[in-house]
Structure formats: structure tokens, C-alpha cells
């Protein structure tokens, strides 16, 4: 699994001209699921995202997690995070999981994140053509890859 986690002042998803999801301060998590991903990867990623201390404390130091600021989380599926661009200029998505694998793992990741944070998770619509609007705060953007844990 690959993810791009952005600290935001707000974020929203629009589908067919209608806002279908919106959060205020919190995390926008773009999630890409690979063909060989499993629940173990989803669990690890959910734990890391829930505990990520990237919000400022009273001294302006990134020392607080999402729960400490009472923030919200928006998760959006994004298969293009699995793009292979080694050959040519047109990305290949051969490493991106198909719906039969990706949807259950996407839902499991969301459920784990909700359980860890004790709050409902706002989501995009899996497989939809979505327009994402956000105000990145900082900017703070963290990329995580379950196959290259750093």
C-alpha cells in the first residue's frame, strides 16, 4: 500500500458537480492498494496514520496526533499511486489491485482507522471520477509505503 497523507485545513470530494464528502482540519489520506497487499499492510498503515504526530502543539512544534486536535480524516482511493513509469511516458497500473482485492482492503483500512481514532472516517467513492479540493496546512505531506517502511 502506498499513501500520501496531507495535513489540511479542509478537504472535500466532488462527484458530478456535487460535494459528496467534506472535512475541516485534519488529514486527507490518498490510498493506493497493490495487487499483493493484505490486511497486515492495511493494519500497519492505519496504526501509523492514526498516531502520526504532525499537528502543532502550543509551541508550534509538530507533536500532536489527529485525536489530540479533534481533527477529521478523509480517505480517498487513488490507484494512480501505484503507477509504474519505468518504461516510456505513459504510466502502467499493472501493480494496482483490481476491485475484488482493493475494495475489501480499502474498507478494512477505513474500519481500522475508525477503531483506532474512535471517530467516523469520511470517504470518497471508490472508483469514481472525483475532484478533490484541499488547503494543505504547512504544507505538510507525508508519503508512506508498506513495502518500504522508513
Cell for 130? 472525483
Q: Which of 78, 112, 123, 146 is catalytic?
A: 78
Contact between 113 and 72 under an 8 Å Cβ cutoff? The reply is no
Catalytic: 126?
no
SS3 at position 131? strand
Catalytic: 6?
no
Q: How big is the CA angle at 82 (ends 92 and 109), to the nearest 5 degrees?
A: 145
In whole angstroms, give the CA distance from residue 37 to residue 125: 20
Q: Which residue has the cell 472525483?
A: 130
Q: Which of 6, 79, 112, 123 is catalytic?
A: 79
- Secondary structure string (H, E, C) spanning 73-114: EEEEECHHHHCECCCCCCCECCCECCHHHHHHHHHHHHHHHH
Catalytic: 80?
yes
Q: 53 — phi, psi (to 5°)? A: -95, 85
Residues involved in catalysis: 78-80
Amino acid at each position: 500500500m502506498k499513501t500520501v497523507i496531507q495535513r489540511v485545513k479542509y478537504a472535500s470530494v466532488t462527484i458530478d458537480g456535487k460535494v459528496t464528502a467534506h472535512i475541516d482540519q485534519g488529514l486527507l489520506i490518498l490510498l493506493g492498494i497493490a495487487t499483493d497487499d493484505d490486511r497486515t499492510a492495511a493494519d500497519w498503515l492505519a496504526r501509523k496514520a492514526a498516531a502520526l504526530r504532525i499537528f502543532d502543539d502550543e509551541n508550534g512544534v509538530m507533536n500532536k496526533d489527529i485525536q489530540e486536535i479533534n481533527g477529521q480524516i478523509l480517505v480517498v482511493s487513488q490507484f494512480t499511486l501505484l503507477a509504474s513509469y519505468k518504461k516510456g511516458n505513459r504510466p502502467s497500473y499493472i501493480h494496482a489491485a483490481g476491485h475484488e482485492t482493493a475494495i475489501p482492503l480499502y474498507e478494512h483500512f477505513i474500519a481500522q482507522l475508525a477503531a483506532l481514532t474512535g471517530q467516523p472516517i469520511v470517504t470518497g467513492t471508490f472508483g469514481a471520477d472525483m475532484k478533490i479540493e484541499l488547503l494543505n496546512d504547512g504544507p505538510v505531506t507525508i508519503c508512506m509505503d508498506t513495502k518500504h517502511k522508513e
